[in-house]
Amino acid sequence: MKNILISITAALVSVAGAQTISIKGSDTLGAKLVPQLAEAFKASGKSGINFEIAAEGSSTAFPALANGTAQIGMSSRKIKEDEATSARSKGMALQEIAVCHDMLAVIVNKNNPLSKVTKDQIAKIFTGQSSDWSEVGGTPGKISVYTRNTSSGTYKDWQSLAMGGRDYPSSSQKLAGNEQIVKEVSANKNGIGYVGLAYAKATGIKALPIDGIAPIAKNAKTYVYARECYLYTLEKPNAETQAFLEFIKSPAGQEIIRKVGFVANGDL
């Protein structure tokens, strides 16, 4: 009976004659990349499939997979053991697909005179040890730190990659997504934040080289804040979900990954 129930909850929903694949999780993947992959997949001849995409943070992917409200989970980090355990307790075995590589770019306002920073300076800024731009070689002014919110996989990744696992300062401002961080930094001459590579060329901001290495695709192997991004699904997904995953791995899907601003797996 358990297997039957799982099959039913994991099945595609039929809405007005069209089938729907529900995808939930990471804003990094879900705000730009996955919607464009979905549109290209439909244009390739799968017009009978609709997509519901909710990009509310990596931590929302795994409960949705476990309760059957999503067929695919998006995550900018690996699944945690407690999340995997929760899925197994419901009789669900999940598969992990490393979909692309990303680079977390440190962004400041375009009018900020600072042209580069070191990894040590970034750690001090995001842990609150340095609170004025003059402390890191910039023009005097109180630093405004913008971060992702706690449901974001990027929030935890940044803590690990850039902060040695230490806490963010209480003065940091937590925002829901990459676009919100770009918006705030572009409007605040003293702002600083981190965003995925696909958002690093937005208007009003600039991305700073870290220890002399710029956050651009060709530096993915040497840039200090590089990471993999993942899709999760049932170990044996339904045919439509599997077809979409195969499309993502195809040359057409990989080209979309590049165009959106991520690093395709084959480029490393």
pLDDT digits (tens, 9 = 90+) for 141-182: 999 999 999 999 999 999 999 999 999 999 999 999 999 999
pLDDT in tens, 11-59: 334 444 569 999 999 999 999 999 999 999 999 998 889 999 999 999 9
> What was the pLDDT predicted at 17?
52
84-96 mean pLDDT? 92
Fold (CATH) for 102-219: D-Maltodextrin-Binding Protein; domain 2 (3.40.190)
What pLDDT does residue 268 have? 85
Question: Which CATH code for domain 2-101+229-267?
Answer: 3.40.190.10
Domain with CATH 3.40.190.10 in the chain: 2-101+229-267, 102-219
Residues 6+ positions from 47 with CB-CB distance below 8 Å: none
> What per-residue confidence (pLDDT) applies to 8?
28
